[in-house]
Structures are given as structure tokens and as C-alpha cells.
Amino acid sequence: MPRVLTVVDPSAVDQRPGTADPAKTPVAHGPVNLTPVPTTKPTIPRLVVSPRSDAFRRRFYPQAGLRDWNDWRWQNRSRIRTIAELDRMLSLTDEERQAIEMHRGALPIGVTPYYASLLDPENATQSLRRTVIPVMGEYLRSRGEADDPLGEDAHSPVPGLVHRYPDRVLLLVTNFCSVYCRYCTRARMVGSVGERSIRKHDLEQAIDYIAGNPVIRDVLLSGGDPLSLDDERLEWILSRLRAIPHVEFIRIGSKQPVVQPQRVTPALVRILKRFHPLWMSLHFTHPDELTPEVAEACARLADAGIPLGSQTVLLKGVNDDIPTMKSLVQGLLRIRVRPYYLYQCDPISGSAHFRTTVQKGIDIIRGLRGHTTGYAVPTYVIDAPAGGGKIPVSPDYIVGREGDDLLLTNYDNGSYRYPDPQTEAAGCESA
Ligand code: SF4
């Protein structure tokens, strides 16, 4: 069924009880009370503002000062959701307009003003623009595509929790994202029915499940975007998880520092650093995202001792060439983010226009390995349909064998032999 753009007045969303829009929603998970609720206007921490974003603010939000712009709640409240708002900022093509008008249901349009400032107003093929503005390809269903290609729903013992690998679980704490990526693996659920976080009852059930399964040593918070929750709610969830003795390791998967770097406030960082070991996987797509704002947000997280890894989806016409990917991974190292995974795009319904061949991904990895710092080379994986998990895919540097020699090729196609007897030697004899 075609998706139709949900045109929602953000102020109306904010006022509905139980919605997750963190701009205004009160704490929904009962008696949290870990942090005093501020009674005065919150202090808005300063964040660097790049000239490009500042020019955009002055042009399209002349009433908003830098204080507003740097306030993540303002960024949420001011998200671009409608075709009328897009029309003000971009020259929409007929195809984009038609796709937006056809949209129904989940994965609505949502773009923060900050991220909108990075879009090319004239060029519909610009990489970042393609990732957030729908095109008609979203409505074409191709062979092998599915709404839930990873079979997450089938591995969900309680609502909001996916238990696919023995020792770790995925806890989906919200279906809200401040920016909706058109290739989202969870397109079936993100942004649907009022954009809200997991219900308190379901969250309690999920936490009880984790507490009752001592094999679970690693919990990944995901969604939607966990950092779209307000500080109090996030702190409550982290506290509950940290209180479970067998949970050794907490991870947060987020795109917020990339699409809304204003979210990485000193207050948030103070909360996060209380729950070490806590790691973060940040969702980066393209080097155009590596702005001064994002660099500062990542520095705040890294300075708090949070190891940062990146997750990138390989996308046709967006980042599927070696120079773009090299620029991205090298730029990530500069802002202290270790490229972690490069994902083959999952076959979600309507994703054919984003999916490359697997060979292209292999070629990109071959173009990185040896040609740049080893830390910059992510692991290329296919998340196997139906819950098979991540399967690494890599170029083959073993070209054959001659007797006890392994024949290898290196990054610049040189040929090498490595002594590799078929049976292991009993030991070294002393001379
Ligand atoms: S940030 Fe992640 S969960 Fe949200 S729309 Fe993008 S890919 Fe989906």
C-alpha cells in the first residue's frame, strides 16, 4: 500500500498525551524523579554554528535566534513535515512532489532545520537530499523485498525487544526520529501512529525479560532514535539496565548527533558517562554530514569516554563510490569515530532504487583496504534476511595455493607467497 505523507501540525503532536516528541512531552514512564524537573527556562548550551547553517537560519527562520537554533527541542518543534514547508526551501521536482503527495502511514517526512540546511535546494540528486526526500521508487516492490526483511518481529519475545543473538538484545525504545531516512530498515514502524516511545508497561516487560535471562550481557538501545528521548526518560532506562548485574555492556544506536547535533548537550553527556561501559554507534551516510557542529557533538561524547563507531548503509547514488566512501571514513576518524559497519542496504519494500550490487560494496572495501588507515576500513556486512544475522562480506586476497605455499594478492595487486604447510609443524628444533 502506498505511504501517504502524514501532514501533522507539530504543535498538535506535542500536546497529545503519551506522544514521544521530546520537545514538549512530559516524562511518560512513571515516577522517574532521578533528575529534578527544571522550573526555569533551560539553559541552552552553545554549539558552533557553521556559516552555511547560519545563513539558512537567517533566511528561513529569521524569527529564531541562535539560542533557538541551538536548542534541540526547538529543532524538534520546527521539523519540516509538510510539502508546503519543503516548497519554501527546495525546488521540488515533479517526481518528489508526486511521491510526497502519495505518502501514507509510517516513515513520514521529517527533517530538522539543521539537517535541511545541508540539503541542496536545487539539485534533487544531491546525496543527502536523496536520503530524506521521497521519490516514486519507494512505491515499487521488487523481488525479495519485505516490510520486515530481518524478521525482527519474529524474534521479539516481548514488545519492543528483539532477541536474535544469544547474548545480546535490541531494545526499541521509541519509534520517533527527528529525521526519517527513506531507506530505513524499520520503515514499517518508525514515525507511525503519533510518533511515540515504547509504553511504560512494555518497557517494564522488556526490562524484566532482560533481568530474567542471565545470558544477556549486551543491550543495544535503538528505535527510532533513543537520543530523541528526553534526558529523564533516557536516564531512567539506563539506570534500570545498569541495575541488572549480568548486563555488562550498553550500546546506543543513534543518528541524532548527525542530524541534530544540538541534542548532545553537556547535561546529556553527564548522564551518559554515568553508565559506562557505554558505547555508541552513530549512523553516518555521507561526508557532507561531517560539519563543525557534528564534530563538536562527537568530541563531547568522545571526551566523556564513550567509544564511537559509525554505521553506514551503502546507498546507490549516495555513497557508492570509493572517493565518497574514503572521504567519509577518513573524516570520521578525524572526528574520533571509528568506521564500524558498512551495511548492504536491507531489502525493505521499495528500496530497489537505493540498493547496489554486493560486488560494488566489495569493490569499495578493496578500494579502502591498504589505501587508507586500517582503522578507517569498516566491516562490510549483509544482514541476512529472516534473522540470519550479520554476515561479513569481503574481497578475497587468497588467490590459490601451490604445495605448502599460499598465494596471496595485496592491495595494489602485487603477488605474494606465504609458507603455509598443510600440516602444522610439531615444533621448532633448537640448533
Ligand atoms: S535514524 Fe535510523 S531508525 Fe530513524 S529513520 Fe533513519 S535509519 Fe530509521
Residue 164 known to be catalytic: yes
On whether both 92 and 190 belong to a single domain, the answer is no
The total domain count for the chain is 3
pLDDT at 425: 67
* CA atoms of 241 and 238, how far apart (whole Å): 5
Ligand 1 midpoint to CA 16 (Å): 23
CATH number, domain with residue 290? 3.20.20.70
Using one digit for the tens of pLDDT, what is the confidence trace for 97-154?
999 999 988 889 999 999 999 999 999 999 999 999 999 999 999 999 999 888 888 8
The verdict on residue 74 lying in a domain is yes
- Residue 299's identity, in one-letter code, is A
Distance of CA 125 to the CA centre of its chain: 21
Domain that holds residue 55: 10-21+42-139
pLDDT of residue 113: 98
Quick one: 174 and 239 in the same domain? yes
Write the CA distances from 387 to 149, 152, 358, 391, integer angstroms.
8, 7, 19, 11
Among residues 107, 139, 171, the one where a domain terminates is 139
Backbone angles phi, psi at 185, to 5 degrees: -60, -30
- pLDDT at 429 (0 to 100): 55
User: In which residue ranges of the chain is pLDDT below 50?
Assistant: 1-39, 431
CA of 188 to the centre of ligand 1 (A): 11
Question: What predicted TM-score, i.e. pTM, was given to this entire model?
Answer: 0.88
The predicted structure's pLDDT at residue 427 = 56
Q: Is 367 helix (H, G, I), strand (E, B) or coil?
A: helix
Instruction: Give the per-residue pLDDT at 213.
Output: 97
What pLDDT is attached to residue 430?
52
For residues 105 and 3, the answer to whether their CB atoms sit within 8 Å is yes
pLDDT at 21: 38
pLDDT at residue 8, as a whole number: 30
User: What is the predicted pLDDT for the residue at 41?
Assistant: 61
Q: Which of 168, 182, 255, 263 is catalytic?
A: 168
DSSP class of 148: S
Asked about 346 being catalytic, the answer comes back as: yes
Q: Is the dihedral of CA 243, 249, 253, 254 positive or negative?
A: positive
Residues 192 and 310 grouped into a single domain: yes
Looking at the structure, tell me whether residues 97 and 233 fall in a common domain.
no
In this predicted structure, what is the pLDDT of residue 347? 94
| Cβ–Cβ under 8 Å, residues 229 and 23 | no
**Res 223: pLDDT:** 86
What's the confidence (pLDDT) of residue 7? 28
| Centroid of ligand 1 to alpha carbon of 255 (angstroms) | 7
Pocket of ligand 1 (CB under 6 A): 177, 180-181, 184, 186, 190, 223-225, 255, 283
